[in-house]
Structure 1
Amino acid sequence: MIELILCHLIGDYVLQCDFIAKSKGDNLYHMFVHCALYCVPFYFLFGISLKLLFVFATHVIIDLLKARYKKIDYKTDQILHYIVLMILWLV
């Protein structure tokens, strides 16, 4: 589980510059770039796999809900990301 948390922290914070963080809600290309970069650490754990696709797809959905559609706040965003990590850990 620690590896998954580290992947999340690296992907969501280290690999996301301020410009992408601010523009991903208005620009779908920037959202895609962020979600693709988010998946890089997970690639080293899973390789090309359904788990990696699951990480990408759920990250897109969760971040769209927060950044573009403003349906969830930061706390809910993070809770949902950690639920995804728990699912990956259990599978």
Structure 2
Amino acid sequence: MARKKTAIDFEQSLQSLELLVDSMESGEMTLEKSLEAFEQGIKLTKECQLALREAEQKVAILLSQNGEETVLPFEEDGENQ
């Protein structure tokens, strides 16, 4: 059950982060509210990064259990092109 919660937390954190960024980009926030939003954004980013690391570790474990010993790094869009 905890694994499913991580996926849900990731989706919720990502959605909250996107809404926060949209609010900040609107330019209608006060400096104080912008700083609070930035702080919240940092927290949400860390939560997303943690969830992604956990997912990556799970994939690595699953691959090693299936007899594949090499895990290739994920290539972001634009790399090696």
Common fold: TM-score over 0.5? no
Query: What TM-score bracket applies, with the shorter chain setting the length?
Result: 0.3 to 0.5
Q: Between Structure 1 and Structure 2, which shows a larger proportion of helix residues? A: 1
